């Protein structure tokens, strides 16, 4: 009887050695004794088979993210937060990945957006010896994992480009263990490291770029408290390019004689929709019918207090006051930056996004409608003031109620009474209570690389700029936030192939 489809492939050996074979087991035992299988156990605990023929990059990444115990911050299914291929779509629609696969740069971008620390190298940015050193380092630790992007042909395997994590290294034989996520096709197998390098040293026809490898680890401290750079809007690349490449050239203009001149030049030349590039992070929770909205857990209180402390530090910088004055006086020339979007619109949008995340999704569902929003400014006697936005989100016949916890700078706290509520159109009374254009642009200026300003010809003006944007004078929490945003910006600029 004829059977449709294919059932696995025979692993070409040589050059590969099947992991479960007698020789493969011997290699494992010797590598384990030599200490270069340390990362294996974490990876194998979360080993998964790619759910689609073209999901090798997504499967490799979700496997590594889970092995590193990185919290995705949103639900997978039921109450569980967990990385799955279906959640990795912020840099490329899943439909496109399913039909076309994914590029090396976009996998690195996904890892970064998912909260991992990423170092990506194509073969022209590294060497076989460097690659060997990185593999030894990663396989000797549980804190870093390596994903390779390679072509199957040098291994005499069927198929073309592929991604998989490295699970171990045998120094005596100079072989690496590939934990092939296409387990329906090939089992895990050992390959000569030099041949793996040859397989990586090939060009991906989709981008014209060489393949390579990426080192993925976990940040030792929290990334962003209140601000983040976003690559989820299509304008992210032009914004990143403008800030890092174009702006330094513009600042060489001889017509710059004041801080106001610099801000006008910078902000009035921003690409379209650049305001979508930097965002403030809102915390959203499902509203429980049997729980008072004003009740916050100790964890929620601590996170909100940290955000509010950071917001206050931003407001206390000299740069913040200068940016606020410039926006108030020059806003007619920079309409997109002036906070013309009402707080009720912001609240409705965030509540809709929150409803999607709490349901396990990522991209905003255009069919969602936020029927009503209400701001409650609470000042209970037993805790610091709290600002909560409550919204009712409608999708078809279903309704989901969500709360958004809004950080409020002590200097802009609205109420000293026990409870004040602003609903629907009255939300506009709350302008100034939440992070807005003033502090977002202040933080963006602080996050620019220090050499951005070197083209300014007026030495006195250059000294004034450096005095305003120096990170050395910032409080520790704000300094950490700014330096993280600077790292984000640098990473996004390096991912030029992500456009393709």
Please identify every residue annotated as catalytic.
56, 162, 180
Select from 91, 447, 442 the least CA-distant residue to 243. 447
The CA distances from residue 63 to 43, 73, 146, 417, in Å, are: 7, 16, 11, 50
CA atoms of 451 and 78, how far apart (whole Å): 48
Pairing of strands 75-77, 80-81: antiparallel
104 close to 207: Cβ distance less than 8 angstroms? yes
């Amino acid at each position: 009887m004829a059977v449709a489809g294919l059932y696995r492939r025979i692993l070409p050996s040589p050059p590969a050695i099947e992991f479960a074979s007698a020789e493969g087991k011997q290699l494992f035992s010797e590598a384990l004794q030599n200490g270069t299988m340390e990362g294996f156990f974490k990876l194998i605990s979360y080993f998964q088979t790619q759910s689609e023929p073209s999901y090798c990059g997504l499967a490799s990444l979700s496997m590594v993210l889970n092995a590193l115990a990185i919290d995705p911050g949103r639900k997978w299914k039921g109450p569980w937060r967990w990385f799955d291929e279906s959640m990795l779509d912020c840099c490329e629609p899943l439909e496109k990945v399913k039909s076309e696969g994914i590029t090396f740069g976009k996998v690195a971008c996904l890892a970064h957006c998912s909260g991992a620390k990423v170092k990506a190298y194509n073969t022209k940015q590294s060497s076989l010896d460097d690659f060997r050193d990185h593999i030894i380092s990663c396989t000797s630790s549980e804190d870093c994992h390596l994903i390779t992007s390679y072509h199957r042909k040098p291994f005499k395997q069927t198929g073309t480009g592929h991604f998989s994590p490295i699970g171990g290294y045998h120094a005596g034989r100079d072989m690496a263990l590939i934990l092939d996520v296409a387990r329906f096709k090939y089992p895990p197998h050992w390959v000569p490291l030099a041949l793996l390098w040859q397989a990586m040293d090939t060009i991906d026809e989709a981008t014209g770029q060489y393949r390579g490898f990426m080192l993925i680890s976990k940040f030792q401290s929290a990334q962003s408290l209140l601000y983040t750079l976003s690559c989820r809007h299509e304008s992210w690349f032009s914004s990143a390019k403008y800030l890092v490449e174009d702006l330094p050239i513009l600042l060489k203009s001889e017509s710059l004689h004041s801080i106001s001149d610099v801000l006008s030049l910078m902000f009035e030349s921003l690409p379209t929709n650049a305001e979508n590039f930097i965002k403030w992070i809102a915390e959203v929770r499902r509203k429980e019918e049997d729980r008072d909205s004003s009740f916050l857990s100790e964890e929620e209180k601590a996170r909100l207090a940290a955000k509010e402390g950071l917001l206050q530090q931003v407001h206390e910088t000299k740069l913040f006051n200068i940016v606020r004055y410039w926006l108030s006086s020059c806003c007619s020339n920079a309409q997109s930056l002036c906070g013309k979007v009402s707080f009720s619109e912001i609240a409705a949008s965030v509540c809709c996004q929150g409803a999607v995340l709490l349901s396990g999704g990522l991209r905003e569902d255009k069919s969602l409608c936020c029927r009503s929003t209400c701001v409650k400014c609470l000042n209970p006697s037993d805790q610091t003031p709290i600002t909560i936005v409550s919204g009712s989100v409608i999708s078809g016949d279903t309704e989901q109620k969500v709360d958004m916890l809004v950080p409020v700078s002590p200097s802009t706290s609205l109420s000293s009474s026990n409870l004040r509520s602003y609903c629907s159109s009255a939300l506009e009374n709350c302008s100034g209570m939440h992070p807005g254009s003033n502090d977002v642009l202040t933080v963006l200026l602080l996050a620019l690389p220090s050499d951005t300003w070197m083209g300014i010809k007026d030495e006195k003006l250059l000294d004034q700029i450096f005095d305003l944007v120096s990170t050395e004078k910032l409080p520790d929490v704000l300094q950490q936030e700014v330096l993280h945003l600077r790292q984000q910006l640098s990473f996004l600029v390096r991912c030029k192939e992500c456009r393709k």
